[in-house]
Chain A
Amino acid sequence: AQSVTQLDSQVPVFEEAPVELRCNYSSSVSVYLFWYVQYPNQGLQLLLKYLSGSTLVKGINGFEAEFNKSQTSFHLRKPSVHISDTAEYFCAVWMDSSYKLIFGSGTRLLVRP
């Protein structure tokens, strides 16, 4: 069965500092990987996705993620964060056999001035 692990429940960081949110997945088949962002009192919004091709994926708001098959990771990065990036970030893997997205438990990014 596929699963997604987000080891960090909360990541505090100062404004303009770089950040990395970690995501590891377990899967024995081809994977489609996603990062979603949830701002306070809102639904989830797709940040970026990896389906195939280049392992470095760029998304909205200056975020990017790198698919690493050997380490089964899909970490999210941003070189310089803003206060407005404060949100909950969810990593997810698509489970083709059952047509479901499996979500990690989320990482709360807290950007401080």
Chain B
Amino acid sequence: GAGVSQSPSNKVTEKGKDVELRCDPISGHTALYWYRQSLGQGLEFLIYFQGNSAPDKSGLPSDRFSAERTGGSVSTLTIQRTQQEDSAVYLCASSSSRRTGTGPYEQYFGPGTRLTVT
């Protein structure tokens, strides 16, 4: 498909385990964002990748969270030693870097990964 895809759609894990969440952005989009959406909350920015530049990690809540983006495309968000408060929906979005057309500010979201830590 042409949209942003994420896998898995649902993940249940035990407290203390590591998890990896995957995001496939729209082909040609150079910007990729990760957000966390906790129950009843808005979207919390986690990390932002733009092309080959160093990522903006200012939103990561702790050093248990990390993300990488390989080849400027697929991204993986890793949460180590998961805690119950990590339970949330993790959303990925991509956007074009161009300032014409859809521009960098129009983000296209994936369906999310619902993470449950038991």
Contact = CB atoms under 8 A, between A and B. Distances in A.
Interface of A: 32, 34, 36, 41-46, 49, 51, 90, 94, 98-106
Given A43-B110, A105-B41, A99 B104 contact: yes
B42 A90 contact: yes
B65 interface: no
A49 B106 contact: yes
B31 to A, nearest CB: 7
A32 B99 CA distance: 12
A103 B106 contact: no
Contacts of B111: 41-43
A25 B104 CA distance: 20
A90 B43 contact: yes
Interface in B33-51: 33, 41-43, 45, 48, 50
A100 B48 contact: yes
Chain B's interface size range is 20 to 34
B36 to A, nearest CB: 11
Given A99-B31, A99-B50, A46 B106 contact: yes
A89 to B, nearest CB: 11
A19 B70 CA distance: 44
A99 B45 CA distance: 12
A103 B110 contact: no
A3 to B, nearest CB: 11
